[in-house]
Amino acid sequence: MLATIGLSTAALAGCTSDSSTNPSNNSTADGTGLSTEDSDVFANVEMNGKNLEVEVTGESATEFINLVDPNGELFDQARLEEGVTKVVFEILGRYEDDLLTGEYELVALESLKSDDPIDSTTISLDAECKITDVLWAAENPDMDWDKNSPVWDEYAAVVIENEGTIPSLLTELQWEGAPAAKLGRDDTVSYHHEIRLPPGETTAYSFGQIYQTSGAGGSLDCSELGTEPMTVTAVVQVGPDPSYTQQIEYGDDQSCDLTIVKGSPTDSDSTGGEN
């Protein structure tokens, strides 16, 4: 009850502009997961960019809204000024740590001294991302590559599908066993990103030379290589970190021609994206 009613020392979030008309009650955002059909107070809940926007009916006496995480702890609290019906909670990009996913509770309070909430509703904040394809620029020249770069054909793109109810945030792509990693004699090369992954499909371009086989420091000796796996892992803020393994065949001569044999999603890191 303490988590639901108060922990009232939490900082108050800023308020948004008011609504000139009463909202239509019981709407659903993004198709799934954020329904408020069980509530007479919460009119609309939806993700907008990095923020969770919560709107109450104009007739509501709500002054404070608590957002309680799946552990029953207060995640954030927002205050409704007089005449305002909408508040915003920052969800993505707020912390360096991952967002705890699962069932969150929205609690409407008349005041911080209220013993009983006016109303509450449960929403699912979850993102389930998977990598469905890894694309090599040399084999996909019509895509949106930076062709001002002389090495654009060594770039890669990752297609990520989010089957969850809210966006996630891609923060890093890790390329284990990539040609560029073998060339640098490291096991993995990594590149940082900040790409929003809304529900649906997103293509993330990595402008590192993932398929590079030669450079200032020398060239790969492909005669010592056969068909080798390359695994890319997407580090995301919400949900498990998905991976995809691509089999690459290395040519057996000095030209070191590459051929992509096949690729498929691998098991996600079950601990990724969870606090």
Q: Domain containing 52 — which CATH number?
A: 2.60.40.3080
Average pLDDT per run of 10 along the chain, which is 275 residues long? Answer: 35 32 34 67 87 89 94 94 90 70 92 84 92 97 95 97 90 95 88 91 94 84 89 93 95 82 74 40
User: What confidence score (pLDDT) does residue 33 get?
Assistant: 54
Asked if residue 274 is part of any domain, the answer here is: no
User: What confidence score (pLDDT) does residue 170 get?
Assistant: 93
Residue whose entry in the numeric block shows the structure tokens 């109303």: 119
User: What confidence score (pLDDT) does residue 143 get?
Assistant: 96
User: What confidence score (pLDDT) does residue 220 get?
Assistant: 86
Report whether 194 contacts 169 (CB < 8 A): yes
- Can you tell me the distance from the alpha carbon of 262 to that of 275, in angstroms, rounded to the nearest whole number? 34
Asked if residue 275 is part of any domain, the answer here is: no
Asked if residue 153 is part of any domain, the answer here is: yes
CA angle 249, 253, 257 (to 5 degrees): 45
User: What confidence score (pLDDT) does residue 86 get?
Assistant: 93
What is the spatial order of strands in the sheet that 241-250 belongs to?
Answer: 188-197, 168-176, 227-236, 241-250, 258-269
Which of 197, 64, 30 lies closest to 44 in space, CA to CA? 30
- Listed residues 105, 125, 145: the one ending a domain: 125
Q: How far is CA 222 from CA 178, 206, 228, 256, 258, in A?
A: 13, 24, 11, 5, 9
- Listed residues 77, 96, 125: the one ending a domain: 125
User: What confidence score (pLDDT) does residue 71 get?
Assistant: 95
Asked if residue 265 is part of any domain, the answer here is: yes
The tally of domains found in the chain comes to 2
Q: How far is CA 157 from CA 42, 145, 262, 265, in A?
A: 40, 9, 15, 15
- Listed residues 125, 153, 173: the one ending a domain: 125
DSSP classification of residue 137: G
140 plus 264 within the same structural domain = yes
Letter string b/e over residues 152-166, b meaning 16 or more CB atoms within 10 A of that residue's CB = ebbbbbbebbbebbb
Range of the domain at 203: 129-269
